[in-house]
Amino acid sequence: MPEQMIGRYVIKAELGRGGMATVYHAYDPRFKRDVALKVLPREFLHAPTFRVRFEREAQTIALLEHPAIVPVYDSGEEEGQPYLVMRYMTGGSLADRMARGLLSLWELAQIFERVGDALDEAHSHGIVHRDVTPRNILFDGKNTAYLSDFGIAKIVAASSVFTKGGIIGNPAYMSPEQARGERKLDGRSDVYSLGAVLFHALTDQPPYEAETPLGLALRHITDPVPTISAARPELSPAWQAIVARALAKYPADRYPTAGDLARAVHDTAAEQREVTAQVADASSQVPSPPPATPERSVIPALPQESHGSDVPPTWRPKSTQPTPWVYELRKGRSRRIPALIGIVGGLMAATLLAVSIGGALMQSGVTSPTEGNSTATVDTSTT
């Protein structure tokens, strides 16, 4: 099967398809590197001034030099289809990461810091992105965030075929003035779109939803700013304040720059991170309760004399010696029965001994002091 080529670029796979462009993973044989190739629809060439505007915008975008902007390498036209060639980002998009679950607040702060700085750089050159969405925030192999597709929406807007009655951009993140079709947009339109991305990243849902693109655009124009507390009640009220300002209906009420919005996100995330760390530290310093004192063993009553398997389960003979009164508990060291029996036996033996001695003395003539006189007499006479 012959390789598919666009210009000198070898198409390896299709990465995505949308209303404004089809994106391919391609290979540049001249520089021996992978690239992302965006092909715009052929219909654009029907606009009389499109080719001139396309070349001018492509050159302007290619001049953007910023560490958080995906660079444009080349542009051209192949069989009536204009295309742009950009760096290929291997880490996927923010949309991919959001689909896997909520991001941490600190991770969001790092992403917004780079994206906000990239937008400020573009705005300083008079370039409005017009299509800030999670799919246009990309990551390289080291998880570093970049903003892509600068000026694509403006290039598309140059074609009257697509601007008559149509909506240029993604209506889920579109500013009210862009939804109204205003041509003279400034950087605060991108601030709104970035705020919509923030709302989506915090709550796992876009700020507004509707069944049609037109209905969605109208909601950005007329509906009040949504709240995040229903989806994330654990978040600080400061996050709602950031969202409310970023999604203000009038540009003058928003953050002046994307960098200002990014700094608000960073500061709020840092404060919440510090509070979380303090709570964790305080929890670790709470003294743990002392270990429970084990109950002292209580020697149960002596068992009845038994044989073989009739021995109670909590007792067993310590040895095979014929000493029936010595037992040990199953747990702990062996313990002897108190020596009361031994003491009683000793007393009895002493008594018997005294009786024996007394009898012997009586037979030999020694009398008890209690019998007769107060002093004992001994018969010393001889017969």
Positions marked active-site: 131
- For residue 222, CA distances in Å to 175, 180, 226, 250 come to 11, 11, 12, 11
> Order of strands across the sheet with 22-28?
5-6, 9-17, 22-28, 33-39, 81-87, 72-78
Beta partners for residue 6, in sequence order: 9
> Please, what's the b/e burial string for 65-95 (b: 16 or more CB within 10 A of its CB; e: otherwise)?
ebebbbebbbbbbeeebbbbbbbbbebebbb
Q: Which residue in the block uniquely carries the two structure tokens 């654990």?
A: 234
Structure tokens at 57: 């915008």
**Per-residue 3-state assignment (H helix, E strand, C coil) for the chain:** CCCCEECCEEEEEEEEECCCCEEEEEEECCCCEEEEEEECCHHHHHCCCHHHHHHHHHHHHHCCCCCCECCEEEEEEECCEEEEEEECCCCCEHHHHHHCCCCCHHHHHHHHHHHHHHHHHHHHCCCCCCCCCHHHEEECCCCCEEECCCCHHHHHHCCHHHHCCCCCCCHHHCCHHHHCCCCCCCHHHHHHHHHHHHHHHHHCCCCCCCCCHHHHHHHHHHCCCCCCCCCCCCCCHHHHHHHHHHCCCCHHHCCCCHHHHHHHHHHHHHHHHHHHHHHHHHHHHCCCCCCCCCCCCCCCCCCCCCCHHHCCCCEEECCCCCCCCCEEECCCCCECCCCHHHHHHHHHHHHHHHHHHHHHHHHCCCCCCCCCCCCCCCCCCCC
Calculated CA dihedral for residues 118, 119, 123, 125, nearest 10 degrees: 30
